[in-house]
Copies of this chain bind each other. A is one copy, B any other.
């Protein structure tokens, strides 16, 4: 066994031991720890910034681009954001131990389900060092132990945040190893982490599509993954024009670089002439480039003909693909085959179509008359999210505290035996 293997094994064993304690920690202790970590981060702001400056300097030397350097930076606002986020998590209801569906069976036993932590969660993420605090906080509140592996470019920042987390854990009496941040930048550590079935129950990668694909292809530990967001709005022939324009505009232009932004607009061709020109004008005013099918290009000026690739592209930019469709079924067909099963919207006033669309669209969030931008843990009332799952197994859509837990059966009896 080489050094990295030995090191990762020891992290795994420590995490497993900490997870046992964490799974039984009461709400109060976990909240005390979260608040103590928040205080340690506030108190350690200057040190965190000094360590962050080392990463930024090394990043500039390495020639990281401006966007990456921006994500890497921890200024006063972002540090305050980390501690504020932890205090918000402390305010969330703790799902662990919740008992639901307790019901008697003909045998006389009573069966229910109790919510329990998953165990040890491995988080693999890229440049944003604030993920260290966010992810640790959510995992801690849900009673899990965590092993965090951040990007090598953020190593000093992550370790500075890790020191604050450790300080808060120790102050609260919870195991210091409940949150461990990998100290080596050796890439072999990632390989060990995603193969450590004995010590790690689930891996959650956070970052670009390439990172997530690589992790989920190579991991033997189960992965909760969040791939791309190719989200659609379909404007039906029974759509209310004002709602259609408002929702399409908001879904595309509220923010561009986010996974729940609309990338393709589908318009029923019987109402396209009534709605598209006005909508296109407003989109263009916001600086959105329009790429359309042939019919779209005939209807609106300055429209670039879309290529086949456009229907399968997550732009994360002020670009919108537009396609006319004959009916809702054609829209659903397009969404299920070109989308990424993330978030898709119908705008319509037709009751029967609403029922059909909700059922037939195979996406983690299916919406009626609302902006794609609502697909978000805060908006859904989860309080915070560790990511948006595009998987179907275990958790689908925004993953909050509950997505970091499982349920076991509990059986209450009075001496019942099976005949």
Contacts and interface: CB of A to CB of B under 8 A. Distances in A.
Contacts of A118: 392-393
Interface in A11-57: 20, 23-24
B365 A411 contact: yes
Contact of A410 (B243, B367, B369): B367
A140 interface: no
A242 interface: yes
Interface in A353-391: 358-360, 362-371, 373-375, 379-381
A2 interface: no
Given A105-B379, A406-B396, A415 B240 contact: yes
B363 A415 contact: no
A379 B97 CA distance: 23
Contact of A408 (B23, B364, B394): B364
Contacts of A418: 250, 254, 371, 373-374, 379
Nearest to A249: B417
A107 B379 contact: yes
Nearest to A96: B359
A412 to B, nearest CB: 5
Q: Is the interface of A mostly helix, strand, loop or mixed?
A: mixed
B107 A374 contact: yes
Interface string A210-249: 0000000100101000000000000000001011001101
B247 A362 contact: no
A111 interface: yes
A122 B43 CA distance: 53
Given A97-B359, A418-B379, A413 B368 contact: yes
A237 to B, nearest CB: 17
A409 B247 contact: no
A360 B119 CA distance: 13
B381 A406 contact: no
Contacts of A406: 392-393, 396
Interface of A: 20, 23-24, 97, 103, 105, 107, 109, 111, 114, 116, 118-119, 201-202, 217, 220, 222, 240, 242-243, 246-247, 249-251, 254, 336, 358-360, 362-371, 373-375, 379-381, 392-394, 396-398, 406-418
B381 A408 contact: no
Contact of A409 (B105, B240, B364, B371): B364
A224 to B, nearest CB: 8
Q: What copy number does this chain have within its complex?
A: 2
B409 A365 contact: yes
Nearest to A415: B243
14 contacts: A20-B336, A24-B359, A114-B358, A116-B362, A119-B392, A243-B414, A246-B415, A247-B415, A254-B418, A365-B410, A369-B414, A373-B417, A397-B408, A397-B409
A362 B23 contact: yes
A254 B406 CA distance: 30
Nearest to A242: B415
Nearest to A354: B412
Contacts of A371: 413, 416-418
Contact of A417 (B240, B250, B375, B393): B250
A360, A373, A415 — most chain B CB neighbours (10 Å):
A415
Contacts of A409: 364-366, 375, 380, 396-398
Contacts of A217: 220
Contacts of A20: 336
Contacts of A398: 409
Please provide the 7 A-B residue pairs with the shortest distance between their CB atoms, ordered closest to farther: A370-B413, A250-B417, A243-B415, A367-B411, A392-B406, A394-B394, A373-B418
A217, A222, A413 — most chain B CB neighbours (10 Å):
A413
